[in-house]
Every structure is written in structure tokens, then in C-alpha cells.
């Protein structure tokens, strides 16, 4: 029997992922052994410590540029930047997840399996503490995302995709209020997500058939050199793209987004809108820039159409929404379109501006969902837009914060939204994708109207009987809000440091 | 490319399929027919079959737990077997990896056990 | 001196924050003080216009240039020259007057400190627009104005304020998008956003210039507003509170004309030359249509609002000629319109407040019931209709002169028609005076006398209207050099 040669592993470079997987496992163990009362604090502290430790390692390793684990994992500039972004945004989301000040027991249900509407269900809705499994699940999801953006071959990428998707499917089903909606969201997300994963996997198989390997380096070489029929290549790439665009919520693979964003517990929606977006686009960037850059001419027009469609659908349908979470979901779809514009610049600028956009958007969107968790009445969060009328009178501070966030979404100057849009559009223009930019600017204007409508509603309407109160946020939510709003402002006024960072990080290793 | 290495595999598939079809096909002719009450009742993991509630019932979640637990250990065995076969060449690295793997599986097991997944009622 | 450019922007911004955070009364005082400091800081920016020579089409007296976002090649580049200086001072002055006015009386529903804060934010945006020498920075400041102005109209406005505010936002956003696309086009094809470097359009191909000018000009035309994109203006003016109207007419519209001169014409001169006839025809159409509509107006504020359309028509006609005289006329017309229309809106506000109506049919005999008010109104109206010796004259006269100087059948016709429009201007203002100040007294005004604050707010404008009218060199002198520089840079 021949000797197996074991791959070399640069443990320092993959340490952030190891730490988080370890922390998640320990978290599961704690669920088993700790008494109920001690679980929440322990889990929260453990998860936060794990994330901070992983972040420190990333900062410490920030100059690493290496292919490791037999070429399965690439630790390079984009990986480290995106991993750092996912962790920072993950910390914010975790703060929202951990807060129990607004609602007794937190935003999560205690026993998700209890029949909705039964006596036991009603009882647990008001009395029981929320499930603490959400913390290890969140950490698993974040760890999966870290691996996803670092994956240097399609198979590792697929495994990472499943690792971060499965916990998210579960988390979506755990909302304390509106259980049916939450379960529907989870089931929908799971079924469509499984479908998309299958597409991805099938695409991997086809590409393997073409290239004879799944590493991006191998694929790159055979894309540029191979003389055999390209049917397998194009079919495979198309299917892989479908799998990734599904996660990124790009049209026409976006239909799950509004339902899932609405049904999921709001902190989880924030996690999905920020971190999943970063991960999905991180994966997409690596696939397109490293693996398939040889056929850029062929896929750019198609993905361009997808981008335009995404922006249009997101912007147009956002206008008609009456639920704040659905509105933010459609806005998230439109933002996926803007991100695609940056991706399709297919240049160093495109890469760095897309990464900047991801971070800028992530901070803002988590803060937005943070505010949504605060506006509530006796039945939980009041997400119908008509209920937000007159909120400015009830609570000028939070209405002001939300206004600022919406202005950032609308891309008004002096917010991070403007700089981010400016950066991606500039990169696309430099690459000669003017048509994408025209659509981008026009849809940005369209998209400004739903935002302005909410602003007008909050400030110019009289508060009515049904205007909900704004809860005083717990310390954790307040911290997440402060981080999000400050980041939105700072990245709008002085974006230079982060842009420099993205520029210096914008080099893939192959 | 020669297909000859695949011939035995195809033969194997044909044999397996043939055996399965044949077993099902000839059972009605060869088997003795001695019915009793238990044979006609629905099979529910060996316990007393519960009458189905009106409007369709829900299968107790306990069945899923058992099934999941089975899969957990099933998968573990699948990985353990090839590792054991090539234990020598994998060396210490493989040993540590397998310990970690078993460790994670046992974490899941401990979770299920502590949270009452093993109690039937 | 250069640091003053920063101070001029930072002080109102700080004042806005202070006004918003402090309690009502104290906040208003803090905001007014900030506006006063900003005015004082803007005055010493002046320098002799022949100070700087050079090849560039823009030769700032003072400038600061910090790298803002190196990765995107954005600069925080501010500068002031003879084109922008009068507008900067005018902005600072009008904002101070409005803040002081609000100190005395905040319109319904109160919360004067918030109003002052918004006015100061608007001031930051307008001043920044006038000072910016970086195209993207220019756009950023241009956008800053939008939402505070919206809030001013939508919160403190008249009965139909929500509709007017929405219309204002819709139009302005539309303009902004075109402007943004234009800015993108220019920046992407020239590789720089520096207005100094871009002026003259040397970097850009003819096609790019045509596209860029069209986009930029439409964007600015919405703001100016140029007929037929003006319809938001009467609504916004009629519904806005007095201070909002003053700022809107006095300086906010100037962002459009200033942008047209500095950015659209400066950056894409080929495009400007190509589009000049169209611009000229539209400008003259605005003059005639604005005047005719004014003749039919029955509401005081609406009439003044439409008169703005006519006056901005003269300014645009001046720009469209692309001659030194024409652009000079546009600049002085800008300043004169800012001073006079600011004053007119103050007066209209005062009258409406006393008579509780703006309907011309229900006003009358002001000469008897409130002689002082009637006197000032008469002065402002006459200044606005362009009586020689008052500020309004120079801009209109020279715009016509420039058009006729330009020669050719088209421009001569435009000049003649514009002159007829000038006569119509006189007609509707005289009609206004006949209706409001003369005739039998209808109802009574309470109080008939002027409050000291009103006198204080109006006096500087009256003095300026006289001063600019008698010594047009005040504005023309300092604008001479920069305009020459701009025209020299054009191919």
C-alpha cells in the first residue's frame, strides 16, 4: 500500500475558522451540561469571546497570503478582509440576538416544535425564555461563512455553503412571535436553498468534467488553455452562478428573500442581510475573478442582465411594500444588484469597491433591523408601515436614527451609502460598463422614494392610537445601533482608511 | 479510453438488480401465506400502533430523534472503517483527526442525551 | 486666509448642531450667532480680482485642497473667486437675516430652533456648492440642500405643504440623478474631478461634452428653474414659510445658474456652444411666459414666485450668449434677484401675516393702512422690474445687450423679445402695486407698523439693492477677471 502524503496546513492562517468551529462545538456541549439559568449569559459571552479571538487572529495574520490545506483554502487579502467583515458584522448581529431587554425571553421561541396556536404555545410565547441554541448555531453559520470566502476549490466551497446555510434555515424558524410566518419562512428558505445547493453541486460536477479538477487554479488553467468543447464549462458555470446568486438574493433567484426576511426573527434577518451577503459575494468574487476570469467576456453580459434585473425588481417592488421588513428585503435585493455592478467591473477597483460596499451596507442594514426590533406593541414588533406613522413625535431619537439609516440606503452624500455607490459605479465605469451604471443611478433614484415615504410617514404624520411605542433598547442592541450608525457616518465622511484597506487587500492568490 | 475496467462493475449492478427483482417477483409464489393480526397491522417501530387521529395525525418527534441518532453513528462508522484500514499510513495525524471527529460526534450525542432525546416518554 | 474657507463651512454646521440640541430659545440664538460669524468669516475672503493670472480657467483667490478619499480620487477642494464670492456673501447674509427673523418669530408649528438648524444646514450646502472646486464635492453639497429644504416646506409650510414639498423633492431628485450621471460621465472620461483642471473641456471629446452638457444642464435647469421644468417653484414658494421662500428664491435657485456657468459651461464648452441656441430660446420663453403668467396671478406669493421664473430667464439668456457681457449680466442678475426677491418674499410674508390672506383681490389700499410697508413694497417691486439705478436693471439690460451683440437673426430676435418681456415685467409689477398699495383700503392690517426686527431684516437688502444698482462695479468688478479667465479657457 502506497503512503498517503498529508497536506500541509498553515494552522495560524486557518485558526479563525478552527476557533469558531471549536467555540460552536463547546457551545453545543454547554447546552447539554449547563443549568438552564446559566446558559444564556455563558453562551453569549463564549460566542462573543470566540468572535473577538478569531478577529484578533485575522488582524494578527493580516499579511498572510497563502494557499493551504492542499490548496483547498486560500488565505489572501480578500479572504482576510471579508472574514474580518463577517466577524465584525456577526458580532453586531450577535448583540441583537442576545438582547432580551425589549421582550421577555428575547426574540426567540423556547420550543420551536410545539404546535402553533396550542395552549402550550401560547404559554411559552409569554413566559418561557428563548432557546439558547441560537448562539452555537449563529457561530456555526459565521464559521461556515469564513470558510466559504476562503474556499479555493468548489468542493470546499460547497461544504462551506452547507455549513453556513443549515444553521440559518433553523434560525429562521425560531421567531417568538408570528410562529407560522417564521416556520413558513424557514421551510421556504430550506427548500429553495436545497434546490440552489443542488444546482451548485451539479455545476461543480460539470465543471469538474471540463477541467478535471475543482481547484480554482486548475479551472483557471483549463479555461484559458483547454481546447475541448466548452458546453460543460458554460453549463457548469451557469449552475454554480445560480447557486451563488440565490444566496446573494439576485433576481430572478430572489423570490425567497422578502418572505424569509419577514418571517425570520429580526436579529437573524439582520445577520442574513449583512453576513450572508458578504459571504455570498465573497464566494462569487472568488469564483468569477480567480476561477473563471478566462471567460469574463462571455459571462459579463449575462450577469449584467441579472444585475439590471435585480436592481429594477428590488427598486420597483420596494415601492409597493407595506411592511418595513419586506421593504428592507427588497432594498437588500436592489443592493445585491449594485454589488453585482461592482463585481462586474472585473478589475482591482471592482474588487475593492465591492468589498467596501459590502461592509458599508452591512453596518447600515444591521442597524436598520436593530431599530425594527425596537418598534413594538403588545403583539411584538409592529412592522406594518402604517404603524410607523408619527413615530418621529413619539421617539425623535430613534426616528432620527432610522431616518439617517434610510438616507444611507438612498445613497445621500455624507453617508456610507453614497461613497459605496460612488465607488462601485466608478469602478464599473472605468471598466466600460456604463449601461450598468445608468441603470444603477436610475434605480437608486427610484429606490429613494420608498425610503422617503417612510421618512415622511415618521415625521409628518400625527401619531395615532395604533402608533406603537419604541422600547428602550437593552445595552446590547444600543451598542449594535451605535456601532452601525457611527460606522455609517464615518464611512460616509472619512472613508479613506477603509478604502485604502480594501485596495491593499484586493489581490487574490491563485 | 477503454471501458474494460468497468465491465465487472456493470456485471455487479446487473446481478444486484436481477437478484432484487427476482426476490420480489418469486416471493408470492414460494412463500407460505399464514396471516395473523400483527402482520396486517401498521408497523410503528414495534410499539402498539396508535389509531390515526381524525384529520391526519402528527408523527411524534421522537421517531425523528431516533433516526437522526442512528444516522450520526452510521456516518461515524462509515468514516471509522476506512481510517482503520489505512491506520498505519495516516499515522498520528490521522489518529488525532479521528479523535476530534469522534469528539464532535460525542458532543452531539451528549447534547441529545442531556436534553432528554433518549427518553422515550 | 485659506483656512477661512473651512471656517465658513464649519461654523454654520456647528451652529446647526448647537441649534438642534439646545433648548428652543437658546438654540435659536446660538444658530443666529453662528450665521453672523459665518457672514463675518466670508467677508475677508475678498481679494482684488486681478490678483491671479494663469493658464487655468478658474483662478481662485483662495483655495484649500485636501485629499479626501484617495482611493476614489476625491478631493476636498474649496476655492473662491469673483464668480462665487458675491453669492457666498449673499448666502451668508440672507441666512443671517432669516435666522434673525426666526429668532423673533418662528412660523407654525413652532420649534424655531429646529428651523434655524435646518436653515444653517441649507447654508452649509449652498456655500459648499459655491465653494467646491471638485466636481464630486460639488455634487455632495448640492445634495445636502435637498432634504432640509424639503423639511422646511413640509413642516413649516402653508396648508398644502405636503403636496408642494413632494413636488419639490420629485423634481429636484430627478435633476440630481441627471447631474450625477453627468458628473460620472465627466469624471470617468477625464479621469479627474478637479474643476480647475476640467475647465475648458480640453480633456473631453466633443461627443462626451455634448452628452455631459445635456445631462448637467438639465440637472441645473431643474434647480434654476428653467421653463418648462419650473412648475415645482410656484408651489414650493407659495407653501413655504417666509424664511424658506427667502432662502429658496434668494440663493437656492442660484445653485442652478452658478452650476451652469461654472460646471456645465466650464467643463463642457463644446456642448454649451452646441446647445446655446436651445438654451437661449428656452430662456426667452421663460421670460415671456413667466411675465404673462404673472399678469394673471391673483395670489401675492405665487406672483412673486412666477416673477422668479422670468428673472431667471434673463440670467439664463445671459449665460446662453456665452459672451463676457452675457455672463457678467447673469452674475449680477443672480445677485440682484437674490437681494430683491429675498426682500419681496419678506414683504409678502409680512403682508400675509397681517392681512391673513395673500389674495390680491382682498388686499388694497396698503398705502393708507400701512404706509411704511407699502413704501418698501413699492421700492422692491420697482427694483425688481428693472428700473435703472436699482439692482434689477443691470442684469436684464445687459442680458439683452449681450444677445443683440451676439448678432445674427436668432440672437437679435431673442434680444428683442426679451426686451419686450422686460416691459411685461414692468406691467405686472405695476399691476401688483396698483392692486395692493393703491386703491380703496380693504380690511385693516394689524399691526400697521413695522416691527424693529423686520426693519433690521429688510434694511440690508434695501441698501444692497440700491448699492448694486448705483455701483454695479461692486459685482461686475470682481467678476470681470474670472469671467475673462473662463472665456479664455473655452476653445
What are the structural domain ranges in chain B?
4-114
Is 90 exceeded by the pLDDT of residue A171? yes
> pLDDT tens-digit profile of B35-58?
887 777 777 666 666 666 555 666
Q: Which residues of C touch A (CB under 8 A)?
A: 67-72, 136, 139-141, 143-144, 146-147, 151, 154-155, 162, 166, 169, 173-174, 176-177, 180-181, 184, 187-188
Which chain A residues contact residue C9 at CB under 8 A? none
- Average predicted confidence (pLDDT) for chain A: 89
Q: Report which of residues A221 and A393 the model is more confident about.
A: A221
Res A303: pLDDT: 92
Maximum mean pLDDT: which of B7-16, C146-155, C224-233, C392-401:
B7-16
Confidence of residue C36 (pLDDT cuts 50, 70, 90): confident
User: Phi first, then psi: what are they for A368, rounded to 5°?
Assistant: -60, -50
Residues of A in contact with C154 (CB under 8 A): 456, 460
Contact B61 A113 (CB under 8 A): yes
A33 touches chain B (CB under 8 A): yes
- Compute the distance between CA of residue A271 and CA of residue A165 in angstroms, rounded to an integer: 12
From chain C, the residues in CB contact with A414 under 8 A are: 140, 144
A397-422 confidence digits (pLDDT tens): 888 899 999 999 988 888 899 889 98
Contact (Cβ atoms closer than 8 angstroms) between residue C418 and residue C399: yes
Whole-number pLDDT of residue A458: 85
Number of helices (H) and strands (E) in chain A: give both, helices first.
21, 5
Name the average pLDDT for chain B: 81
**Residue A201 in this model has a pLDDT that exceeds 60:** yes
Min Cα separation A181/chain B (Å):
20
Q: How confident is the model at residue C59 (pLDDT cuts 50, 70, 90)?
A: confident
Instruction: Give the pLDDT confidence score for residue A80 in this predicted structure.
Output: 92
What is the rounded CA–CA span in Å between residue A249 and residue C463? Answer: 62
pLDDT at position A200 is: 94
Question: Once rounded to an integer, what is the mean pLDDT over residues B72-90?
Answer: 85
User: Which chain B residue's Cα is nearest to A26?
Assistant: B107
Secondary structure (H, E, C), chain C: CHHHHHHHHHHHHHHHHHHHHCCHHHHHHHHHHHHHHHHHHHHHHCCCHHHCCCCCCCCCCEEEEEEEEHHHCEEEEEEECCCCHHHHHHHHHHHHHHHHHHHHCCCCCCCHHHHHHHHHHHHHHHHHHHHECEHHHHHHHHHHCHHHHHHHHHHHCCCCHHHHHHHHHHHHHHHHHHHHHHHHHHHHHHCCCEHHHHCCCCCCCHHHHHHHHHHHHHHHHHHCCCCCCCCHHHHHHHHCCHHHHHHHHHHHHHHHHHHHHHHHHHHCHHHHHHHHHHHHHHHHHHHHHHHHHHHCCCEHHHHHHHHHHHHHHHHHHHHHHCCHHHHHHHHHHHHHHHHHHHHHHHHHHHHHHHHCCCEHHHCCCHHHHCHHHHHHHHHHHHHHHCCCCCHHHHHHHHHHHHHHHHCHHHHHHHHHHHHHHHHHHHHHHHHHHHHHCCCCCCCCCCCCCCCHHHHHHHHHHHHHHHHHHHCCHHHHHHHHHHHHHHHHHCC
Nearest C-alpha of chain B: how many angstroms from A163?
15
Calculate the average pLDDT of chain C.
82
The whole-number average pLDDT for the span C126-141 is: 89
Rounded to an integer, what distance in angstroms lies between the CA atom of residue A351 and that of residue A343?
Answer: 6
**Minimal-distance CA residue of chain A relative to C146:** A412
pLDDT confidence tier of residue C201, bands split at 50, 70 and 90: low
- Residues of chain B contacting A137 with CB distance shorter than 8 Å: none
Partners of residue A108 on adjacent β-strands: A175
Other C-beta atoms closer than 10 Å to the C-beta of A500 total 14
Report residue B21's pLDDT band, with 50, 70 and 90 as the boundaries.
very high
User: What are B55-75's pLDDT values in tens digits?
Assistant: 566 667 777 888 888 888 888
- Mention every residue, 6+ apart, whose C-beta is less than 8 A from residue C234: C302, C305, C306, C309
- pLDDT grade for A1, boundaries at 50, 70 and 90: very low
Q: How many residues are present in chain A? A: 510
| Mean pLDDT across C153-179 | 83
* pLDDT over 70 (residue C55): no
In chain A, the number of structural domains is 1
pLDDT band at C261 (very low <50, low <70, confident <90, very high): confident
- Interface contact A4-B108, CB threshold 8 A: no
CB contact under 8 A, C184 and A496: no
> Using CB atoms, which residue from C67, C144, C188 is nearest to A413?
C144
Please state the rounded mean pLDDT for residues A332-348. 92
pLDDT score of C53 more than 60: no
Whether residue A465 has pLDDT greater than 80: no
The average pLDDT across A245-254 equals 90
Question: What's the domain range around A449?
Answer: 292-505
With 60 as the cut, is the pLDDT of residue C83 above it? yes
- Please name the member of B61, B90, B104 whose beta carbon is closest to the beta carbon of A4: B90
Asked if the C-beta of A452 comes within 8 angstroms of chain C's C-beta atoms, the answer is: yes
| pLDDT of C152 over the 70 cut | yes
pLDDT for C48: 66
Range of the domain at C42: 2-489
Average pLDDT of the residues in C295-313: 85
Query: To the nearest whole percent, how much of chain C has pLDDT over 90?
Result: 1
Q: Which residues pair with A66 in a beta bridge?
A: A75
Alpha helices in A102-153 (DSSP H): 119-126, 134-150
Number of domains chain C is built from: 1
State yes or no: pLDDT of A73 exceeds 60.
Answer: yes
Cα C464 to Cα A230, A368, B56, C471, distances in angstroms: 76, 49, 88, 10
Query: A24 vs A125, A142, A224, CA distance in Å?
Result: 27, 10, 41
| In chain C, % of residues over pLDDT 70 | 96
Tell me how far apart the alpha carbons of residues C363 and C438 are, in angstroms, rounded to a whole number. 10
**Within a 10 A sphere around the Cβ of C132, how many other Cβ atoms?**
26
Please name which of C69, C399, C46, C54 lies closest in space to residue C200, comparing C-alpha atoms.
C54
Average pLDDT, stretch C9-35?
A: 83
Cα A125 from Cα A138, distance rounded (Å): 22
Residue of B nearest to A33 (CA): B114
pLDDT, position C42 = 82
Q: Which architecture does CATH list for B4-114?
A: Up-down Bundle (1.20)
Can you read off the three cell numbers belonging to residue A235?
Answer: 453549463
Touch of B by C (3+ CB pairs closer than 8 Å): no
Segment A119-160, tens digit of pLDDT: 888 888 778 888 888 999 999 999 999 999 999 999 999 999
Asked if residue A307 has pLDDT above 60, the reply is yes
Three-state secondary structure of A183-213 = HHHHHHHHHHHHHHHHHHHHHHHHHHHHHCC
Q: Does A35 touch chain B (CB under 8 A)?
A: no
Best-predicted range by mean pLDDT (A436-445, C12-21, C150-159, C260-269): A436-445
**pTM as predicted:** 0.85
pLDDT of A149? 93
How far apart, in Å, are the Cα atoms of A380 and each of A107, B40, C105?
A: 9, 51, 43
What is the rounded CA–CA span in Å between residue A417 and residue B32? 77
Per-residue pLDDT averaged across C384-402, rounded? 83
Pick the range with the lowest mean pLDDT from A68-77, A86-95, A275-284.
A68-77
Which range has highest mean pLDDT (A259-273, C108-122, C276-290, C441-455)? A259-273
pLDDT, position B54: 59
Residues A72 and A216: their CA atoms lie apart, in Å, by 9
Instruction: Find the closest chain B residue to A3 by CA distance.
Output: B89
Q: Closest partner residue to A29 among B58, B61, B107, by Cβ?
A: B107
Would you say residue C275 has pLDDT above 90? no
What are the distances in angstroms from CA A197 to CA A201, A247, C241? 6, 9, 59
Q: Is there a contact between A29 and B58 if contact means CB atoms under 8 Å apart?
A: no
Amino acid at each position: 500500500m502506497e503512503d498517503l502524503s498529508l497536506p500541509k496546513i498553515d494552522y495560524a492562517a486557518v485558526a479563525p475558522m478552527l476557533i469558531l468551529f471549536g467555540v460552536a462545538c463547546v457551545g453545543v456541549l454547554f447546552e447539554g451540561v449547563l443549568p438552564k439559568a446559566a446558559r444564556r449569559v455563558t453562551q453569549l459571552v463564549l460566542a462573543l469571546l470566540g468572535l473577538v479571538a478569531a478577529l484578533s487572529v485575522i488582524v494578527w495574520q493580516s499579511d498572510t497570503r497563502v494557499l493551504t490545506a492542499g490548496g483547498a483554502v486560500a488565505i489572501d487579502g480578500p479572504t482576510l478582509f471579508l472574514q474580518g467583515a463577517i466577524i465584525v458584522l456577526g458580532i453586531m448581529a450577535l448583540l441583537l440576538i442576545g438582547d432580551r431587554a425589549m421582550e421577555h425571553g428575547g426574540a426567540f421561541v423556547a420550543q420551536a416544535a410545539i404546535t402553533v396556536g396550542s395552549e402550550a404555545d401560547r404559554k411559552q410565547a409569554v413566559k418561557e425564555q428563548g432557546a439558547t441554541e441560537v448562539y452555537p448555531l449563529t457561530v456555526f453559520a459565521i464559521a461556515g461563512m469564513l470558510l466559504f470566502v476562503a474556499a479555493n476549490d468548489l468542493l470546499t466551497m460547497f461544504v462551506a455553503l452547507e455549513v453556513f446555510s443549515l444553521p440559518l434555515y433553523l434560525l429562521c424558524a425560531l421567531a417568538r412571535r408570528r410562529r407560522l410566518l417564521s416556520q413558513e419562512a424557514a421551510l421556504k428558505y430550506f427548500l429553495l436553498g436545497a434546490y440552489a445547493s443542488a444546482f451548485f453541486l451539479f455545476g461543480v460536477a460539470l465543471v469538474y468534467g471540463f477541467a478535471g479538477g475543482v481547484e480554482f487554479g486548475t479551472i483557471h488553467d483549463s479555461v484559458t488553455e483547454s481546447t475541448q468543447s466548452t458546453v460543460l464549462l458554460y453549463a457548469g458555470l451557469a449552475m454554480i452562478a445560480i447557486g451563488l446568486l440565490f444566496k446573494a438574493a439576485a433576481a430572478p433567484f430572489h423570490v425567497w428573500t422578502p418572505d424569509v426576511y419577514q418571517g425570520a426573527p429580526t436579529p437573524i434577518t439582520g445577520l442574513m442581510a449583512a453576513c450572508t451577503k458578504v459571504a455570498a459575494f465573497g464566494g462569487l468574487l472568488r469564483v468569477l475573478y480567480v476561477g473563471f476570469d478566462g471567460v469574463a467576456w462571455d459571462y459579463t453580459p449575462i450577469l449584467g442582465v441579472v444585475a439590471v434585473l435585480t436592481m429594477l425588481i428590488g427598486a420597483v417592488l420596494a415601492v409597493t411594500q407595506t411592511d418595513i421588513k419586506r421593504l428592507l428585503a427588497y432594498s437588500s435585493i436592489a443592493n445585491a444588484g449594485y454589488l453585482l455592478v461592482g463585481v462586474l467591473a472585473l478589475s482591482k477597483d471592482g474588487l475593492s469597491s465591492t468589498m467596501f460596499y459590502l461592509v458599508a451596507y452591512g453596518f447600515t442594514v444591521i442597524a436598520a433591523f436593530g431599530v425594527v426590533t425596537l418598534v413594538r406593541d403588545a403583539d411584538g414588533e409592529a412592522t406594518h408601515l402604517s404603524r410607523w406613522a408619527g413615530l418621529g413625535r413619539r421617539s425623535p431619537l430613534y426616528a432620527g436614527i432610522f431616518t439617517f439609516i434610510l438616507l444611507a440606503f438612498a445613497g445621500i452624500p455624507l453617508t456610507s451609502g453614497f461613497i459605496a455607490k460612488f465607488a462601485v459605479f466608478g469602478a464599473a465605469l472605468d471598466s466600460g460598463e456604463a449601461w450598468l451604471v445608468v441603470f444603477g443611478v436610475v434605480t437608486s433614484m427610484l429606490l429613494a422614494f420608498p425610503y422617503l415615504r417612510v421618512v415622511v410617514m415618521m415625521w409628518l404624520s400625527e401619531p395615532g392610537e395604533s402608533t406603537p411605542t419604541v422600547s428602550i433598547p437593552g445595552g446590547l442592541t444600543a451598542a449594535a445601533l451605535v456601532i452601525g450608525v457611527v460606522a455609517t457616518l464615518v464611512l460616509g465622511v472619512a472613508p479613506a482608511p477603509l478604502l485604502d484597506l480594501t485596495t491593499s487587500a484586493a489581490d487574490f492568490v491563485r | 479510453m477503454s471501458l474494460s475496467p468497468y465491465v465487472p462493475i456493470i456485471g455487479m449492478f446487473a446481478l444486484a438488480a436481477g437478484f432484487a427483482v427476482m426476490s420480489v417477483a418469486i416471493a408470492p409464489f414460494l412463500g407460505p401465506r399464514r396471516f395473523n393480526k400483527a402482520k396486517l397491522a401498521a408497523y410503528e417501530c414495534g410499539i402498539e400502533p396508535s389509531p390515526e387521529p381524525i384529520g391526519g395525525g402528527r408523527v411524534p418527534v421522537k421517531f425523528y430523534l431516533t433516526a437522526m441518532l442512528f444516522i450520526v453513528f452510521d456516518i461515524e462508522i462509515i468514516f471509522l472503517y476506512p481510517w482503520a484500514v489505512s491506520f498505519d499510513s495516516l499515522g498520528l495525524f490521522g489518529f488525532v483527526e479521528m479523535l476530534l471527529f469522534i469528539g464532535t460526534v460525542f458532543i452531539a450525542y451528549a447534547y441529545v442525551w442531556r436534553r432528554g432525546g433518549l427518553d422515550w416518554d | 486666509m485659506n483656512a477661512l474657507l473651512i471656517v465658513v463651512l464649519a461654523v454654520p454646521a456647528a451652529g446647526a448642531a448647537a441649534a438642534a440640541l439646545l433648548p428652543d430659545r437658546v438654540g435659536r440664538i446660538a444658530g443666529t450667532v453662528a450665521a453672523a460669524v459665518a457672514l463675518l468669516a466670508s467677508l475677508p475672503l475678498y481679494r482684488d480680482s486681478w490678483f491671479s493670472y494663469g493658464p487655468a480657467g478658474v483662478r481662485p483667490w483662495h483655495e484649500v485642497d485636501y485629499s479626501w478619499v484617495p482611493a476614489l480620487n476625491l478631493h476636498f477642494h474649496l476655492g473662491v473667486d469673483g464668480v462665487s464670492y458675491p453669492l457666498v456673501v449673499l448666502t451668508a447674509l440672507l441666512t443671517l437675516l432669516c435666522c434673525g427673523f426666526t429668532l423673533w418669530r418662528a412660523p407654525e408649528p413652532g420649534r424655531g430652533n429646529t428651523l434655524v438648524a435646518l436653515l444653517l444646514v441649507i447654508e452649509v450646502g449652498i456655500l459648499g456648492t459655491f465653494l467646491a472646486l471638485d466636481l464630486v464635492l460639488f455634487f455632495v453639497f448640492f445634495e445636502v440642500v435637498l432634504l432640509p429644504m424639503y423639511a422646511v416646506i413640509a413642516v413649516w409650510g402653508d396648508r398644502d405643504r405636503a403636496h408642494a414639498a413632494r413636488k419639490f423633492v420629485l423634481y429636484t431628485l430627478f435633476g440630481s440623478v441627471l447631474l450625477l450621471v453627468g458628473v460620472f460621465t465627466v469624471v470617468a472620461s477625464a479621469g479627474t474631478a478637479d474643476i480647475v483642471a476640467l475647465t475648458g473641456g480640453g480633456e473631453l471629446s466633443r461627443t462626451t461634452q455634448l452628452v455631459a452638457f445635456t445631462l448637467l444642464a438639465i440637472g441645473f435647469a431643474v434647480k434654476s428653474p428653467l421653463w418648462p421644468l419650473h412648475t415645482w417653484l410656484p408651489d414650493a414658494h407659495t407653501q413655504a414659510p417666509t424664511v424658506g421662500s427667502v432662502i429658496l428664491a434668494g440663493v437656492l435657485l442660484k445653485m442652478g445658474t452658478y452650476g451652469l456657468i461654472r460646471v456645465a459651461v466650464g467643463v463642457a464648452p463644446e456642448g454649451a456652444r452646441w446647445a446655446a441656441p436651445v438654451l437661449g430660446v428656452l430662456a426667452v420663453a421663460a421670460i415671456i411666459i413667466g411675465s404673462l403668467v404673472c399678469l394673471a396671478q391673483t395670489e401675492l406669493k405665487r406672483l412673486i414666485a412666477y416673477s422668479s421664473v422670468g428673472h431667471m430667464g434673463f440670467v439664463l439668456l445671459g449665460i446662453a450668449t456665452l459672451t463676457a457681457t452675457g455672463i457678467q449680466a447673469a452674475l449680477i442678475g443672480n445677485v440682484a434677484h437674490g437681494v430683491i426677491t429675498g426682500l419681496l418674499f419678506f414683504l409678502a410674508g409680512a403682508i400675509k401675516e397681517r392681512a391673513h390672506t395673500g389674495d390680491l383681490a382682498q388686499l388694497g389700499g396698503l398705502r393708507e393702512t400701512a404706509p411704511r410697508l407699502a413704501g418698501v413694497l413699492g421700492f422692491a417691486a420697482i427694483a425688481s422690474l428693472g428700473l435703472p439705478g436699482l439692482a434689477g436693471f443691470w442684469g436684464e439690460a445687459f442680458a439683452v445687450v449681450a444677445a443683440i451683440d451676439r448678432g445674427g437673426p436668432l440672437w437679435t430676435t431673442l434680444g428683442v423679445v426679451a426686451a419686450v418681456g422686460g416691459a411685461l415685467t414692468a406691467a405686472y409689477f405695476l399691476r401688483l402695486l396698483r392692486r395692493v398699495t393703491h386703491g380703496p383700503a380693504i380690511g385693516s392690517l394689524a399691526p400697521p407698523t413695522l416691527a424693529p426686527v423686520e426693519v433690521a431684516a429688510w434694511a440690508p437688502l434695501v441698501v444692497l439693492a440700491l448699492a448694486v444698482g448705483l455701483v454695479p462695479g461692486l459685482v461686475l468688478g470682481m467678476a470681470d477677471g474670472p469671467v475673462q479667465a473662463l472665456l479664455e479657457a473655452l476653445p
